[in-house]
Amino acid sequence: MRCSLVLLAFSLLWSLASCAATGEPFHRGEPVPGKASLYIYVVQKTLLRLDTWDVYLDGKQVTELRGGDYFYSTVSPGPHTILVKVQLFTKLSVNLSADPDTTYYFRVPMEAPGYVFRWFLERVTEPQALSELTDLTLVPGSDPR
Protein backbone atom coordinates (compact mmCIF):
# COMPACT_ATOMS: atom_id res chain seq x y z
CA MET A 1 0.00 0.00 0.00
CA ARG A 2 2.77 2.41 0.96
CA CYS A 3 4.62 1.73 -2.29
CA SER A 4 1.45 2.51 -4.25
CA LEU A 5 1.07 5.85 -2.47
CA VAL A 6 4.68 6.79 -3.17
CA LEU A 7 4.27 5.83 -6.82
CA LEU A 8 1.06 7.85 -7.06
CA ALA A 9 2.72 10.90 -5.45
CA PHE A 10 5.71 10.62 -7.80
CA SER A 11 3.41 10.35 -10.84
CA LEU A 12 1.46 13.42 -9.73
CA LEU A 13 4.63 15.46 -9.20
CA TRP A 14 5.99 14.36 -12.57
CA SER A 15 2.81 15.39 -14.38
CA LEU A 16 2.81 18.78 -12.62
CA ALA A 17 6.43 19.37 -13.57
CA SER A 18 5.69 18.54 -17.18
CA CYS A 19 3.13 21.38 -17.25
CA ALA A 20 5.75 23.98 -16.32
CA ALA A 21 6.79 26.66 -18.76
CA THR A 22 9.24 25.41 -21.35
CA GLY A 23 9.95 28.53 -23.41
CA GLU A 24 12.94 30.80 -23.22
CA PRO A 25 13.09 33.41 -20.46
CA PHE A 26 12.21 36.96 -21.47
CA HIS A 27 14.54 38.96 -23.65
CA ARG A 28 13.71 41.89 -25.91
CA GLY A 29 12.74 41.16 -29.47
CA GLU A 30 14.82 42.39 -32.36
CA PRO A 31 13.09 45.44 -33.86
CA VAL A 32 12.71 45.63 -37.63
CA PRO A 33 13.22 49.13 -39.07
CA GLY A 34 9.94 50.59 -40.32
CA LYS A 35 7.80 48.04 -38.44
CA ALA A 36 6.16 48.07 -35.01
CA SER A 37 7.04 45.58 -32.27
CA LEU A 38 4.20 43.83 -30.46
CA TYR A 39 4.21 41.93 -27.17
CA ILE A 40 1.15 40.10 -25.86
CA TYR A 41 1.34 38.29 -22.54
CA VAL A 42 -0.62 36.62 -19.75
CA VAL A 43 0.58 37.59 -16.31
CA GLN A 44 -1.03 34.94 -14.12
CA LYS A 45 0.93 31.75 -13.75
CA THR A 46 -1.19 28.77 -12.83
CA LEU A 47 0.15 25.59 -11.31
CA LEU A 48 -1.30 23.29 -13.93
CA ARG A 49 -1.22 25.76 -16.85
CA LEU A 50 -4.43 24.22 -18.22
CA ASP A 51 -6.10 27.47 -19.30
CA THR A 52 -5.13 28.66 -22.76
CA TRP A 53 -5.63 31.93 -24.57
CA ASP A 54 -5.80 31.77 -28.36
CA VAL A 55 -4.30 34.93 -29.87
CA TYR A 56 -5.37 36.23 -33.28
CA LEU A 57 -3.79 39.07 -35.22
CA ASP A 58 -5.93 40.47 -38.03
CA GLY A 59 -8.12 37.35 -38.04
CA LYS A 60 -5.26 34.83 -38.17
CA GLN A 61 -4.35 32.73 -35.13
CA VAL A 62 -0.72 33.47 -34.29
CA THR A 63 -0.23 31.65 -30.99
CA GLU A 64 -1.69 30.04 -27.93
CA LEU A 65 -0.70 31.49 -24.58
CA ARG A 66 -0.82 29.97 -21.10
CA GLY A 67 -0.38 31.81 -17.84
CA GLY A 68 3.20 33.05 -17.65
CA ASP A 69 3.75 33.12 -21.43
CA TYR A 70 4.46 35.98 -23.81
CA PHE A 71 4.36 36.37 -27.58
CA TYR A 72 6.48 38.73 -29.68
CA SER A 73 6.07 39.76 -33.29
CA THR A 74 6.63 42.68 -35.59
CA VAL A 75 3.77 44.19 -37.59
CA SER A 76 3.52 46.61 -40.47
CA PRO A 77 2.40 50.16 -39.70
CA GLY A 78 -1.33 50.71 -39.92
CA PRO A 79 -4.53 49.31 -38.42
CA HIS A 80 -4.52 45.89 -36.75
CA THR A 81 -6.99 43.94 -34.64
CA ILE A 82 -5.79 41.83 -31.73
CA LEU A 83 -8.26 39.21 -30.53
CA VAL A 84 -7.74 36.92 -27.56
CA LYS A 85 -10.12 34.05 -26.88
CA VAL A 86 -9.97 33.25 -23.19
CA GLN A 87 -12.65 30.64 -22.87
CA LEU A 88 -15.25 29.19 -25.17
CA PHE A 89 -17.43 32.32 -25.13
CA THR A 90 -15.02 35.03 -23.96
CA LYS A 91 -13.38 37.14 -26.64
CA LEU A 92 -11.18 40.12 -25.87
CA SER A 93 -10.47 42.49 -28.72
CA VAL A 94 -8.56 45.70 -29.24
CA ASN A 95 -7.83 47.77 -32.31
CA LEU A 96 -4.32 49.10 -32.78
CA SER A 97 -3.10 51.74 -35.19
CA ALA A 98 0.58 50.79 -35.29
CA ASP A 99 3.22 53.42 -35.92
CA PRO A 100 6.59 52.43 -37.39
CA ASP A 101 9.49 51.91 -35.00
CA THR A 102 7.17 51.82 -31.97
CA THR A 103 6.72 49.04 -29.40
CA TYR A 104 3.30 48.04 -28.06
CA TYR A 105 2.61 45.94 -24.98
CA PHE A 106 -0.71 44.21 -24.30
CA ARG A 107 -1.46 41.98 -21.35
CA VAL A 108 -4.28 39.74 -20.26
CA PRO A 109 -4.69 40.22 -16.51
CA MET A 110 -7.36 38.68 -14.35
CA GLU A 111 -9.64 40.18 -11.72
CA ALA A 112 -11.76 38.13 -9.36
CA PRO A 113 -14.14 40.51 -7.58
CA GLY A 114 -16.50 38.41 -5.47
CA TYR A 115 -14.83 35.25 -6.81
CA VAL A 116 -16.16 35.88 -10.31
CA PHE A 117 -13.23 35.73 -12.72
CA ARG A 118 -12.99 38.52 -15.29
CA TRP A 119 -10.40 38.63 -18.05
CA PHE A 120 -9.61 41.67 -20.18
CA LEU A 121 -7.01 42.84 -22.69
CA GLU A 122 -5.22 46.07 -21.93
CA ARG A 123 -2.38 48.12 -23.29
CA VAL A 124 0.29 48.84 -20.69
CA THR A 125 3.28 51.15 -20.47
CA GLU A 126 6.77 49.92 -21.24
CA PRO A 127 8.04 50.13 -17.63
CA GLN A 128 5.08 48.13 -16.34
CA ALA A 129 5.37 45.56 -19.13
CA LEU A 130 9.12 45.09 -18.71
CA SER A 131 8.73 44.54 -14.96
CA GLU A 132 6.12 41.82 -15.62
CA LEU A 133 7.77 40.25 -18.67
CA THR A 134 10.96 39.42 -16.77
CA ASP A 135 9.17 36.49 -15.11
CA LEU A 136 7.55 35.14 -18.28
CA THR A 137 8.61 32.70 -20.99
CA LEU A 138 8.46 32.96 -24.77
CA VAL A 139 5.90 30.79 -26.58
CA PRO A 140 7.05 28.67 -29.51
CA GLY A 141 6.57 30.45 -32.82
CA SER A 142 7.70 33.83 -31.50
CA ASP A 143 11.06 35.08 -32.65
CA PRO A 144 12.47 37.83 -30.45
CA ARG A 145 15.93 37.69 -32.02
Question: Model confidence over 12-69: pLDDT tens digits?
Answer: 433 333 344 456 888 899 899 999 999 999 887 654 455 788 999 999 999 999 888 9
Domain membership of residue 119 (yes or no) is yes
pLDDT at 77 over 70: yes
* Phi, psi of 37, deg, nearest 5: -100, 145
- CATH number of the domain within which 33 lies: 2.60.40.2890
* Phi, psi of 11, deg, nearest 5: -60, -40
Question: Model confidence over 128-137: pLDDT tens digits?
Answer: 999 999 989 9
The stretch 105-109 carries a mean pLDDT of: 89
Give the number of domains in the chain.
1
On whether the CB atoms of residues 68 and 136 are closer than 8 A, the answer is: yes
CA distance 136 to 69: 5
pTM of the model: 0.77
Helix (H, G, I), strand (E, B) or coil at 17: helix
Domain membership of residue 1 (yes or no) is no
CA distance 90 to 75: 25
